[in-house]
Chain A
Amino acid sequence: DAGVTQSPTHLIKTRGQQVTLRCSPISGHKSVSWYQQVLGQGPQFIFQYYEKEERGRGNFPDRFSARQFPNYSSELNVNALLLGDSALYLCASSLQGASYEQYFGPGTRLTVT
């Protein structure tokens, strides 16, 4: 079975630009969470979506937004990019909203110059 997939693998953006990251959960999983991992730190929770509804939001500015589609895939959007947004963005899927059995994708490495 395919695991969590994320695209793109890497991308480079300029300050002020906008970026969209994509995530496909494991087949049958209905919950997707997004995490930001800055170099040298542990992942930090950004959003959780379950059944296409936002179930949780971390301490991130409104420049960060996300959505979940009917097929349970998800997009994370970041507007007005700052240098500090450079990080590995991880997507995790789980079977149910309250399930802590989260499976992580390989991540998208975003570099903002």
Chain B
Amino acid sequence: AQSVTQPDIHITVSEGASLELRCNYSYGATPYLFWYVQSPGQGLQLLLKYFSGDTLVQGIKGFEAEFKRSQSSFNLRKPSVHWSDAAEYFCAVGLPRAGGYNKLIFGAGTRLAVHP
């Protein structure tokens, strides 16, 4: 069965430090890959997506992610974290199939805390 694993439940970084959030997926082919961010009490905001092509994708708010097929990974990175980045981050995969179907499978999330 398809699955998404985010190994880190909680991560704490200092403001200005670099960040990497890990995501691994299990799927027979290359899925569509996404990172979403959720602030407390809010819905999900799309940070970036990978469908095909260049394996390093740029997103909003200074985030980037790299798709590594050999490792089935899609890790999210930011060179310098801001206090406002404190939130929960979800990795998700979309499974291409016919019929106008666009189900997303989400990981359990990584909660990011930022120390001043």
Chain A interfacial positions (CB closer than 8 Å to B): 4, 31, 33, 35, 40-45, 48, 50-51, 55-56, 58, 90, 92, 94, 96-107
| Contact partner, A42, options B41, B46, B103, B109, Cβ 8 Å | B109
| Contact partner, A96, options B36, B100, B105, Cβ 8 Å | B100
Contact (A43, B102) CB under 8 Å given A90-B44, A105-B43: no
Residues of chain B within 8 A of A43, CB atoms compared: 44, 90, 104, 106
Closest 7 CB pairs of A and B: A97-B100, A42-B106, A104-B43, A104-B44, A100-B94, A106-B43, A45-B103
> By the criterion CB–CB under 8 Å, are B103 and A94 in contact?
no
Bound-state CA distance A33–B106 (Å) is 14
Residues of chain B within 8 A of A100, CB atoms compared: 32, 34, 49, 51, 94, 102, 104
Bound-state CA distance A101–B45 (Å) is 11
Bound-state CA distance A41–B4 (Å) is 12
Bound-state CA distance A42–B34 (Å) is 13
A29 to B: closest C-beta gap in Å: 12
- B70 part of interface (Cβ distance < 8 Å): no
> By the criterion CB–CB under 8 Å, are B32 and A56 in contact?
no
Most A CB atoms within 10 A — which of B42, B102, B103? B102
| Contact partner, A90, options B41, B43, B94, B100, Cβ 8 Å | B43
> By the criterion CB–CB under 8 Å, are A98 and B102 in contact?
yes
Against A, the Cβ 8 Å flags (1 = close, 0 = not) of B42-78 are 1111100101000000000000000000000000000
> By the criterion CB–CB under 8 Å, are A31 and B100 in contact?
yes
| Contact partner, A107, options B34, B43, B45, B101, Cβ 8 Å | B43
A109 to B: closest C-beta gap in Å: 8
B11 to A: closest C-beta gap in Å: 16
